[in-house]
């Protein structure tokens, strides 16, 4: 938990008014000299000293804010994340979308046979290697984090029936696929939204998980007055297990970010197939331009 979130929690539970001490007048507590409000020789500072008698509790002038409790979504079905500011953000969770034996077979074939590679991205001009392996399918190239994955129309034969099944479940069509391989618990994807202009407005993204379960986390975009501070935003966690299909739709990419964080205990490999629809980059746009700025 970040320092700031921790502090906010501690404040929330400690900031109760303390009972006032009452003592018969004229008595002096043990081990205390009668107190003066002026500084005693050898005391710290030179101003009037606060004593038990002079101390008064003042309510903080700024209201103490609670960090909203994180929600967990595990139940199959449709879930509304929020309604605004850009519209309704929704998820559909379908655990067991692929039955276990089918998921086992697809997982081992894709792990062995997809052309996995490690992509180099750029942040503020600095190169870094993505902490996962990826491959891309689509008639168009896909640019994010200032680096481009080349168009690749050589779909692995196993991906085509999977795409058909996902299209049927979502009633959407997808012309592209970003495949992610998390080799172990140290592989991850940081906070981002899939909001490149090339994905269109309010995209539906279908994400099929295979292999070890990993936690998919979402956090709401803070309102402008928070100046990019995510301390008090709503958070949701969705465990994504072998064979689960997750659909993100509506305003989810406008109003929420998502990540799969590193884990500090052992995790086996996990493949995530994210089916998308891509469009030619809008005229005059630099490839990879986001509809709003977030770093991937």
Ligand X SMILES: O=C(O)CCC(=O)C(=O)O
Interface residues toward ligand X, by CB under 6 A: 178, 180, 189, 194, 207, 216, 240, 258, 260, 272, 274
- Shortest CB 291 distance to ligand X, Å: 15
Reference 98, options 223, 257, 244, 280; nearest CA is 244
Reference 119, options 96, 148, 98, 139; nearest CA is 148
Euclidean distance between CA atoms 268 and 216, whole angstroms: 16
Q: Which is nearer to ligand X, 67 or 290 (CB)?
A: 290
- Shortest CB 281 distance to ligand X, Å: 18
Inter-residue contact 221 to 233 (CB < 8 Å): yes
Inter-residue contact 181 to 285 (CB < 8 Å): no
Q: Which is nearer to ligand X, 67 or 177 (CB)?
A: 177
- Shortest CB 182 distance to ligand X, Å: 7
Inter-residue contact 77 to 221 (CB < 8 Å): no
Inter-residue contact 137 to 171 (CB < 8 Å): no
- Shortest CB 66 distance to ligand X, Å: 28
- Shortest CB 10 distance to ligand X, Å: 32
Q: Which is nearer to ligand X, 90 or 258 (CB)?
A: 258
Euclidean distance between CA atoms 14 and 21, whole angstroms: 18
**Coil, helix or strand for 105?**
helix
- Shortest CB 251 distance to ligand X, Å: 17
Euclidean distance between CA atoms 235 and 23, whole angstroms: 48
Q: Which is nearer to ligand X, 67 or 254 (CB)?
A: 254
Closest residue to bound ligand X by CB: 272
Q: Which is nearer to ligand X, 8 or 295 (CB)?
A: 295
Q: Which is nearer to ligand X, 188 or 231 (CB)?
A: 188
């Amino acid at each position: 938990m970040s320092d700031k979130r921790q502090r906010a929690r501690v404040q929330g539970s400690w900031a109760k008014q303390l009972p006032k001490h009452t003592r018969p007048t004229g008595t002096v507590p043990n081990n205390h000299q009668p107190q003066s409000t002026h500084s005693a020789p050898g005391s710290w500072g030179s101003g009037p000293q606060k004593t038990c008698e002079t101390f008064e509790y003042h309510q903080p002038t700024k209201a103490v804010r609670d960090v909203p409790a994180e929600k967990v979504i595990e139940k199959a079905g449709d879930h509304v994340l929020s309604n605004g500011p850009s519209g309704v953000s929704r998820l559909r969770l379908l655990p067991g979308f692929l039955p276990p034996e089918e998921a086992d077979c697809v997982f081992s074939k894709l792990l062995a046979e997809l052309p996995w590679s490690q992509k180099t991205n750029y942040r503020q001009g600095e190169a870094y290697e993505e902490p996962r392996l990826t491959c891309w399918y689509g008639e168009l190239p896909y640019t994010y984090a200032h680096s481009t994955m080349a168009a690749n129309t050589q779909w692995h034969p196993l991906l085509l029936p999977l795409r058909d099944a996902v299209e049927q479940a979502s009633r959407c069509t997808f012309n592209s696929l970003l495949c992610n391989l998390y080799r172990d618990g140290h592989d991850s994807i940081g906070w981002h939204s899939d909001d490149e202009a090339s994905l269109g407005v309010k995209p539906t993204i279908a994400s099929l998980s295979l292999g070890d379960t990993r936690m998919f986390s979402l956090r709401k975009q803070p309102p402008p007055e928070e100046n990019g501070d995510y301390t008090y935003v709503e958070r949701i966690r969705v465990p994504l297990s072998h064979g689960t299909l997750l659909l993100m739709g509506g305003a989810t990419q406008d109003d929420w970010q998502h990540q799969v964080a590193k884990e500090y205990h052992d995790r086996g490999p996990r493949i995530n197939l994210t089916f998308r629809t891509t469009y030619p980059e809008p005229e005059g746009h630099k490839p990879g331009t986001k509809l709003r700025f977030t770093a991937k």
